[in-house]
Amino acid sequence: MFCLYLGMLPIKRIIRLVAVNTGVFLLLLLPVELIFGDWLHQNPLHELNIIRNQQLKVNLNNLYPHPTGTITYSRDRYGLRGTAFNNPSRIDVLTVGGSTTDQRYIDDQHTWQMQLEQRFAKNGYPLIFSNAGIDGHSTIANVQSTQKWFNHIPGLRPKYILFYTGINDFCITPGHARDKLLLNPILHRSALYQLYKKLYGLYAAQRLKLLHKKTNLTQLPYTTQPLITDSLQYKRLSQKYRSAYAERLVQLIQYAKQIGATAIFVTQPVGYYHITSQGRVNGVNETLYYDVPINGVDYYHLKQLLDDTCRKVAAQYNLPYIDVNRLAPFNPEDFYDYVHPNPTGTRKLAEVLYPELERIMKPEK
């Protein structure tokens, strides 16, 4: 009916009607932008989605069995988790990554960083681990963090920076329009753009099942057959993503060198697949979205290529690379959804990482 009404109006009146409504919308939008946007005082941390100076009681919503159903999640005034609270000059190891580094639903005392810190202290090598993981961050955001977050933290000079990456870089490249917008400093001040980023991030995470959502992986159907039958297609499909990933890894290495730290790269276990005792890849028989539909077996082959890209970059710069997936099997019981480890998984991760990191970080006598 509205379209029919417009068709009966003269063109000048239609233009006037559209102009008046657009003007009213912009006037209503202005106070929203001024209140919730970053126009009056630029805060580089605003655009990175960082929680600061808070201690939260987080309801687990039955993600995994827990005696109280709530955990403590704390970040200091600089946005970091860990025992160096508000004293960044104490930090020896800065851990950087996305939600599996952040661990939004794991208690302060049970993150893999805290468990590593306790193991090092127990064995006579006290090191302070700090958690700079942010839910949803890929290496695109990690690079932004080095420019807009870490360099605003006074006294931050860690000996090591552990980059725990891969999952959120699985199929992103800064080549398309949205990622060019991501680098636009003017748009970053807009409250509407920040809302758009969050909604788009939720949409993208949903497509690859990256959201925090209770999923009993042991009850899912599994298969050993991929959807992609031509193995060469894995390389063709992932080439643009792997190339862009490698470039960002080099940027992270350059930042670490700039502040006198050693970069360490660690791969991430996931729940999309597991390796059977016979050495076969058993992947979830569900449709995930890449450039084409894939299942858990396809995800394994594509992730192997992405992790190998990281390995080659680390080798090129003679830096430590730890392939967690080759050191220990991670099973469906280690996750509360497709990608996020439960306390059993974080404990296993710390157990796997400790001897590897001890060889790298143990002081020479």
In a domain, 93, yes or no: yes
Return the CA Rg of the chain. Answer: 23
3-state secondary structure 269-331: CCCCEEECCCCCEEEECCCEECCCEECHHHHHHHHHHHHHHHHHHHHHCCCCEECHHHHCCCC
Name the more confident of 206 and 246: 246
Q: Is residue 94 part of a domain?
A: yes
Compare 89 and 11 and report the one with higher pLDDT. Answer: 89
Average pLDDT over residues 87-116: 97
Rounded Cα–Cα distance for residues 221 and 203 (Å): 24
CATH number at residue 230: 3.40.50.1110
Residue 64 lies in a domain: yes
Q: What is the pLDDT of residue 51?
A: 87
Q: Which residue range is the domain that position 337 belongs to?
A: 46-361
Q: Quote the CA–CA distance of 346 and 336 in Å, as a whole number.
A: 11
pLDDT (tens digit, 9 = 90+) per residue, 50-80?
Answer: 888 999 999 999 999 999 999 999 999 999 9
Selection from 120, 112, 111 nearest residue 92 by Cα: 120
pLDDT of the residue at 249: 98
pLDDT per residue over 137-188, tens digit each? 999 999 999 999 999 999 999 999 999 999 999 877 555 444 444 455 555 5
Bridge partners (DSSP) of residue 30 are none
In this prediction, residue 353 has a pLDDT band, given cuts at 50, 70 and 90, of very high
* Count of the separate structural domains present in the chain: 1
More confident residue, 218 or 42: 218
Q: Does residue 226 fall inside a structural domain?
A: yes
Question: Would you state the pLDDT for residue 181?
Answer: 44
Residue type, 19: A
Asked whether residue 78 is assigned to any structural domain, the reply reads yes
At a CB cut-off of 8 Å and minimum separation 6, what does 208 contact? 170, 171, 288, 289
Query: Could you tell me the pLDDT band of residue 85, with boundaries at 50, 70 and 90?
Result: confident
Please indicate whether residue 250 or residue 48 has the higher confidence score (pLDDT): 250
Q: Give the residue with greater pLDDT, 49 vs 225.
A: 225
Identify residue 205 by its one-letter amino acid code.
A
Burial class (CB in 10 A: 0-12, 13-18, 19+), 239: exposed
Evaluate whether residue 252 is within a structural domain. yes
pLDDT tens-place string over residues 290-313: 889 999 999 999 999 999 999 999
Residue 2 lies in a domain: no
